[in-house]
Chains A and B, each alone.
Chain A
């Protein structure tokens, strides 16, 4: 009886030590602005994603690329999505496939009038929640100037971005920002307040794209 109890205790300990792979996986949502002046940056954005983000994704990680345009909160905005296979070689093949999709996206003739950034953030938040990943990140490539289409209502509810690290990369300075740099800073600070209200884990503005991988790796 005693050995049985010991075996049961050992099994319970082992079971307690076992965790689902999702808890250790990482989910990254990339929002790419295709409106206004930022539409010209698409090639550069895809280059950064391909060279600075894709190689650093590990088996089991998820990547979703969402277009930020007139209608951010629609499934049509999703450019590419994939959860990498547990087998590294299969994961590499998936990365190549993703890279192809991103290349096609970069080559497409896209330029939209509005910038539904909040809608895209809401959509990305849903994808991130659905991934059940242990670590969730959102990378935004935009000038962070929101221009919603008429009639669109966008509210980031409290807890919408709970546990999500938000990184703004390559934030383009607009012509108005050249005249008043404070406006640029106010715009970013405003987003910081909104994201904090949505319980985002962190909000960082990264200037150097080569820092992207290290930022995402940070605990």
Chain B
């Protein structure tokens, strides 16, 4: 600032002269300067608008592709589910229909037997003869005085009583027989009931499966039609899947880290190398490779089992070849788990050796020996580490499933995030363009404010000149600044 002063010892005069010179120069350059600022505003605003439009169209294109991918993956998923449901239904139907002739025969036989039993039990039992009335009639005959007649009558009475008892006995036996037939028939009713329940269960299962198939078909048709509702459902499902699988993969990652820590130290003993790769010693790389190999073996096991479909070529292999790969991967995993268990044991021994060394160097070996834990307790960490070393690889092998889910859903989630970023960028550039245009417009006004004195002088001079020319009086003068103010287009 001090250097700008023409006469440093007289700053006020210097500033006044500078101001006057600036007024003259800026007034003279006013029109071209306005043009420059106007053009600059248009250029900047246009450039930002173009960039915003490009980002918006890119976002739209990406959104369209995401939609296509999402619908396609949803369609494939629905097809898989439908196929699986049909297969299940076919399996159930085959098994049930296979058993149906036998079921029908058993049901028919049971019904026939029940009918026979009913027929047998409906036969009229021998009616009990009217012996009671006869006995009563004989008994009510007045006793005659004749002894012979009396004797005959007594004999008749006795005989009637015997016959009555016999008839009653026969009748009771016939009723008991019918009851027996009916009792035996109850078991057959139960068989029939059981068979009918079996049929009911099968039919209910078929109905439930058909209901599920209807639902899947409905979803499938919505996806086929490309309905927005179907897309929204698929998007929400993909985001949920992404979050859950990300969490599981993160947990597995921590498991992998623990696994790595377990074998890093003993690996430095087994792979002592001077070289470093990417800022890590070779032994660390070796430990990392073992952990990654466990993950790879786990992925192969899951692929060959058909749980995941990360490698289509493995899925397309014949079952026998897949079995071979499964066996090799499983054996590899077992081998790696065993190696890790042994390394974990070695780790504990090495740590103890390090501790002993530190104590020896500090001259405290005697005290260190005294504080050593009891043998049983000291083995617990070793056993624990060995178990961890053996179990962790198997748990890590399971990472294939969430990994596949993460890859599948991540494609959509990342695409969606990119769309949001592009849309946000587009909006931001539009705002920046608008602000740039308005700022340059304001700069034009600020320019005129700075040279307000010559402008007002010009206005007065023009007013007088116009008044001289116009008999009606001075014309309504517009502010020159307004005349040259840039006329920017309103932002779209």
A interface residue numbers (CB < 8 A to B) = 14, 17-24, 47, 50-51, 54-55, 59-60, 85-90, 92, 95-96, 99
Contact = CB atoms under 8 A, between A and B. Distances in A.
B350 interface: yes
B120 interface: no
Given A50-B362, A99-B360, A92 B281 contact: no
Nearest to B358: A55
Interface residues of B, number: 21
A55 B274 contact: no
Interface stretch (B44-52, B230-238, B265-273, B449-457): B265-273
Contacts, number: 65
B361 A88 contact: no
Nearest to A53: B361
Nearest to B361: A50
Contacts of A47: 363
A92 B357 contact: yes
A50 B217 CA distance: 77
Contact of A55 (B265, B277, B357): B357
A89 B350 contact: yes
A95 B353 contact: no
Given A92-B354, A96-B357, A87 B276 contact: no
Nearest to A13: B278
A91 to B, nearest CB: 9
A95 B272 contact: no
A87 B270 CA distance: 8
Contact of B357 (A14, A21, A95): A95
A21 B276 contact: yes
Given A47-B363, A50-B363, A89-B269, A23 B276 contact: yes
Contacts of A51: 358, 361-363
A96 B362 CA distance: 11
Given A47-B363, A95-B361, A99-B360, A20 B350 contact: no
Given A18-B276, A89-B269, A99-B360, 13 more contacts: A14-B277, A19-B275, A20-B276, A24-B276, A51-B361, A51-B363, A55-B361, A86-B273, A88-B269, A88-B272, A89-B353, A90-B272, A99-B361
Given A17-B277, A17-B278, A87 B358 contact: no
Interface in B117-145: none
Interface string B362-397: 110000000000000000000000000000000000
Which 4 pairs from chain A and chain B are nearest by CB?
Answer: A21-B274, A86-B272, A87-B272, A51-B362
Contacts of A50: 361-363
B281 A24 contact: yes
Contacts of A22: 274
Contacts of B362: 50-51, 55
B281 A21 contact: yes
Contacts of B277: 14, 17-19
Contacts of B350: 88-89
A59 B268 contact: yes
A139 B269 CA distance: 29
19 contacts: A14-B277, A18-B276, A18-B277, A19-B275, A20-B275, A24-B281, A50-B361, A51-B361, A55-B362, A59-B272, A85-B272, A86-B272, A87-B268, A87-B272, A88-B268, A88-B350, A92-B353, A95-B357, A99-B360
A55 B358 CA distance: 6
A47 B362 CA distance: 7
B288 to A, nearest CB: 14
Contacts of A18: 275-277
Nearest to A22: B274
A87 B272 CA distance: 5
Contact of A19 (B269, B276, B363): B276
B361 A86 contact: no
A60 B274 contact: yes
B166 to A, nearest CB: 111
A85 B272 CA distance: 9
Contacts of A89: 269, 350, 353
B355 to A, nearest CB: 10
Nearest to A23: B276
A25 to B, nearest CB: 9
A96 B360 contact: yes
Contact of A20 (B274, B278, B360): B274
Contacts of B281: 21, 24
Contacts of B357: 55, 92, 95-96
B276 A86 contact: no
Nearest to A102: B361
Contacts of A96: 357, 360-361
A54 B274 contact: no
Nearest to B349: A89
A133 B360 CA distance: 27
Q: Which of A14, A18, A20, A55 has the most CB of B within 10 A?
A: A55
Contacts of A95: 357, 361
Interface string B253-293: 00000000000010011001111111101000000000000
A162 to B, nearest CB: 23
B289 to A, nearest CB: 14
